[in-house]
Structure 1
Amino acid sequence: MSANVQAFDLAMFDLDGTLVATAGEIGDAVNDTLVRFELPAVSQVQVERWIGHGTRELLIQALASASDTTAEVIRSSSSLSLIAAEFDRHYQRRCGTRSQLYPQVRDTLLALRERGVKLAVVTNKESRYTATVLDAHRLAPLFDRVISGDTLPTKKPDPAGIHSCLTQFGAAAERALFVGDSSIDVATARNAGVRVWALPYGYNMGEPITANQPDRVIPDISVLLN
């Protein structure tokens, strides 16, 4: 599909794996937490495959793997809140230490703003972590709206976040674009009835993004300026 950015009034973006490469520091915080509770570390590959459903779910998957049990057992564990609080301390400390913007992100967002395109983040990452990551990379001022995994009663792939942005900015679905890196992002955009472009370098549970059939696969987000 060859439409350029002039066809869009609103561009919405996933965060992890789309705008910022965050897996390294998430993995650091997970393993900091596991060590604290005398559990074996998990691998970076595992962490990348768990990204997408929110940081709490990622922690649950890591604990299940390290404990050789199931996610259901971890979710019902009385110690989960204690472990989650420990993870929170480590992740807040780690945010910004190893993550980096993907190529062309800042320049593209600035150029889109200059063109009058409204910009939003729609992520499943919890709001306190979203804010920390955006602030660490000086991205927060570039967005007109940030929707995190705990902003609304539901999160992706429920389309509520996209619908909320469409309503707030008075944008028609056919003049909106969602940019992400995972099957969750593609499903969210499809559920909302908006076009979806995907990046091949993010975190898609170990699967190629082409398998999820986005409208377009782009090498980096500067393509939005073409």
Structure 2
Amino acid sequence: MKGYPYDLILFDLDGTLIETAPEIADAVNDTLTAFERPAVTQQQVDHWIGHGTRELLIQALAFVDRVDAQTVRTSASFPDIEAAFGLHYEQRCGTRSQLYPGVRLMLEALHAAGVKLVVVTNKEDRYTRTVLNAHQLTPLFHRVISGDTLAVKKPHPAAVEDCLMRFGIARERALFVGDSSIDVATARNAGIAVWALAHGYNMGQPIEDSRPNRVISDFSALAAVLPAHSGLFGQSLEAD
């Protein structure tokens, strides 16, 4: 798009586009209760987000059973627990999650302007699609890359490389927007710019420590880089 510095913007999902932690915690605790385990706290779940929903469940089970993660992965009972979690999470998707302020309007404006928009998340595809559909975001994205879409996931740069090649976009015209050190590392590994939101899930650590190109407070920053906003994003970016 003429006058805008990026032709491709890749977004993390949890903690970046959508605040999903409350319903993830609900699904985890639904599952733990069903298998006669004690509940975990919202703060614990917040700190486990980032490596995919399966790994989050493993961390929760390791914590409540007081074993290491590998013991959980190889246990005979884990497949049944994981299957139960899948049902609980699909039921919970969209019940307590919400878009962060300005997300929908900004995505609509960027999409209308011809910027390629991509979700890159470590969440498994079945859950990614359910969350995006629950918030009517799916039509706004040109590609969705989940944790099981490719052979590797973030912070490996494969998802970024896939999009650069697929859309024929130069590296310097791409931006990654995320909320965690994993997102920053992904962008760095791919050699593209990265902006990080301060409100997301970064395993309890300040996002500034990851040294993104820029720390932003909300999505209005994506309009602020336009020359005099170019009149493109004239709508208010208040809460959706």
Q: Same fold (TM over 0.5)?
A: yes
- 8 Å contact from structure 1 (residues 21, 99) kept in 2: yes
Separation (CA, whole Å) in 2 of partners of 1:102 and 1:7: 23
Separation (CA, whole Å) in 1 of partners of 2:142 and 2:48: 28
RMSD: 1.0
Deviation at 1:58, TM superposition (A): 0.1
Separation (CA, whole Å) in 2 of partners of 1:63 and 1:7: 44
Q: Deviations over 1:156-198 (max 9, x none)?
A: 0000001101111101110000000000000000000000000
Deviation at 1:221, TM superposition (A): 1.5
Corresponding residue for 2:229?
none
Deviation at 1:68, TM superposition (A): 1.3
What TM-score comes out, normalization by structure 1 length?
0.97
Confirm or deny that 1:173 pairs with 2:176. no
Alignment length, in residue pairs? 223
Percentage of identical aligned residues: 65
Deviation at 1:146, TM superposition (A): 0.3
Separation (CA, whole Å) in 2 of partners of 1:85 and 1:100: 25
Given candidates 41, 46, 49, the residue that maps to 1:48 is 46
Separation (CA, whole Å) in 1 of partners of 2:68 and 2:41: 18
- 8 Å contact from structure 1 (residues 112, 225) kept in 2: no
Trace 1:81-120 onto structure 2 (pairs within 5 A).
Answer: 81-120=79-118
Separation (CA, whole Å) in 2 of partners of 1:203 and 1:64: 20
Gaps of 5+ in 1: none
Separation (CA, whole Å) in 2 of partners of 1:50 and 1:114: 35
Deviation at 1:116, TM superposition (A): 1.1
Deviation at 1:225, TM superposition (A): 1.2
Gaps of 5+ in 2: 225-240
Deviation at 1:7, TM superposition (A): 0.8
Separation (CA, whole Å) in 2 of partners of 1:96 and 1:143: 18
Given candidates 104, 120, 123, the residue that maps to 2:121 is 123
Q: Deviations over 1:65-115 (max 9, x none)?
A: 111111111011111110000000000000000000001000000111122
